[in-house]
Structure 1
Amino acid sequence: MKKRQKDSAVISLHGIVKRFYIGKPNELEILHGIDLQVEQGEFVSIVGESGSGKSTLMNIIGALDRPTEGEYFLRGRNVGETGDKELSMIRNQEIGFVFQTYNLIPRTTALENVELPMLYGKVKKTERRARAKELLELVGMGERMFHKPEELSGGQKQRTAIARAMANDPSIILADEPTGALDSETSRKIMDIFHELHKEQGKTIVLITHSGELAEETDRVIRISDGRI
């Protein structure tokens, strides 16, 4: 049986250290004993300059990488004691990822991109299609759902990416610089979508950003510098 945490946090990191080995005897320590808790339904931002360790921390929170030392509990489950196959399923079902570079598949439509995460969950085709359409309508992409990424603006691509992140109805949305490649007006619209998902659907949102202005819109600002909170 996997060890479970006693506190109520949906994300709970204790003494997280991350080192990268660049051949003996050299090693590079990026995170130095991070302690961090995020409660269910919180909208928090993690702010830091380039090289501060925020991307490394994001990868650990998203279960895309494992810490060198310390413990990470995701919804009570000890990630360090979880096998790769189970961890992949957790990522697909529990966390919705939104990236600065969108990460859309070029040869498929917006609708098909949103359907993709549901394929791994073995959702029936008719249900996948209906859910994907509903989500694209939600983010204002109803009239562009049959267009491929090359036919979409940056804001439209990011709206599609948000809809895809919501495909399996995750409890957590992890957004890594989601407005970094967008102009100020489009950024405002994207942030409005996050606020709506937070307030209307109660999603736990972790926003990774270098923008102090965007961070101030969240419930709690977590600052990281030189690998320390």
Structure 2
Amino acid sequence: MIEIRNVVKRYFAGTPNEITVLDGIDLHIASGEFVAIVGQSGSGKSTLMNIIGALDQPSSGEYELGGTPIQRMNRDELAQIRNQKIGFVFQSFNLIPRNSALKNVELPMVYAGVKPAERQRRAKELLTMMGMDERMDHQPNELSGGQKQRVAIARALANNPDIILADEPTGALDSKTGNLVMDIFLRIHREEKKTILFITHSTELAELCPRVVTVKDGRIVSDKAGSNRGGTLS
């Protein structure tokens, strides 16, 4: 599913200075895997997620998604990949403030050209799966942090993507709510067979995933099995 070979990412911080954020990353992730990418702030894990999510391009190296070289795609093709193949979940939820939970989940399907009746049916189905059936008409400011994240997860699943990229999805939540959100991801992995990349600075949460990749100073320093083999926390 994901093949990264010798990927380097550099940023220029004023001539002639440059910062190397990723330094020769090699990573293979098979279809259906649940992988935690763990590292402290500044380790390069979010930059790696942005490259995997086709939000950014490497300075050098190769990245193939499902056998397709991402670097060869134009802007429209990359946008289609992000809409159809990848579902994003962010720490800050990124919900549209004036839209209801239902409309937020429908949004990716609007861009994908799904007909109104079908996208409403799909959005309701996903929100019900997230335990949000009684909050569908509520706007984000009427929801708790955990409820907002459940809406964001439902939105990420809207177009039935192959991959879910979750960037610090529990970072803005208390530990109890964070565990509930992690349980949702474990359930999605078990029941929906999605490929999930769970980016976090929490080693405790990372260890709950079947596979744990540790990034430090722009390099992968560890790639090992986690403690969870597809069960749930509850």
Class of the TM-score when normalised by the shorter of the 2 chains: over 0.9
Moved over 4 A (4+): none
Whether 1:169 aligns to 2:160 is yes
User: Structure 1: how far apart are the matches of 2:69 and 2:210?
Assistant: 26
Whether 1:38 aligns to 2:29 is yes
SS in 2 for 1:197: helix
SS in 1 for 2:57: coil
The 5 A counterparts of 1:83-162 are: 83-162=74-153
Quote the residue 1:180 is aligned against: 171
Identity, in percent, stands at: 63
Q: AA paired with 1:222?
A: V
User: Structure 2: how far apart are the matches of 1:22 and 1:190?
Assistant: 37
After TM superposition, give the deviation of residue 154 of structure 1 in Å.
0.2
User: Structure 2: how far apart are the matches of 1:214 and 1:39?
Assistant: 21
Structure 2 unaligned residues grouped into runs of 5+ = 221-234
The 5 A counterparts of 1:75-90 are: 75-90=66-81
Whether 1:219 aligns to 2:210 is yes
SS in 2 for 1:174: strand
Instruction: Find 1:206's aligned residue among 197, 211, 219.
Output: 197
Per-residue Cα deviation, 1:86-112 (whole angstroms, up to 9, x for no partner): 010001000000000000000000000
Instruction: Find 1:62's aligned residue among 48, 53, 62.
Output: 53
After TM superposition, give the deviation of residue 13 of structure 1 in Å.
0.4
Taking structure 2 as the reference length, the TM-score comes to 0.93
User: Structure 2: how far apart are the matches of 1:215 and 1:27?
Assistant: 31
Quote the residue 1:195 is aligned against: 186
User: Structure 1: how far apart are the matches of 2:135 and 2:28?
Assistant: 38
User: Structure 1: how far apart are the matches of 2:18 and 2:188?
Assistant: 40
Per-residue Cα deviation, 1:109-141 (whole angstroms, up to 9, x for no partner): 000000000011100000010000000000111
Structure 1 unaligned residues grouped into runs of 5+ = 1-9
Q: AA paired with 2:72?
A: E
Quote the residue 1:3 is aligned against: none
* Count of residues in correspondence between the two structures: 220
After TM superposition, give the deviation of residue 24 of structure 1 in Å.
2.0
Q: AA paired with 1:140?
A: G
Per-residue Cα deviation, 1:185-213 (whole angstroms, up to 9, x for no partner): 11111111101110011000000001111
Taking structure 1 as the reference length, the TM-score comes to 0.95
Quote the residue 1:48 is aligned against: 39
SS in 1 for 2:125: helix
After TM superposition, give the deviation of residue 146 of structure 1 in Å.
0.3
Q: AA paired with 1:14?
A: R
User: Structure 1: how far apart are the matches of 2:209 and 2:68?
Assistant: 26
SS in 1 for 2:219: coil
After TM superposition, give the deviation of residue 23 of structure 1 in Å.
2.8
Per-residue Cα deviation, 1:18-58 (whole angstroms, up to 9, x for no partner): 01112321111110010001100000000000110111111
Whether 1:73 aligns to 2:64 is yes
SS in 2 for 1:135: helix
User: Structure 2: how far apart are the matches of 1:72 and 1:104?
Assistant: 29
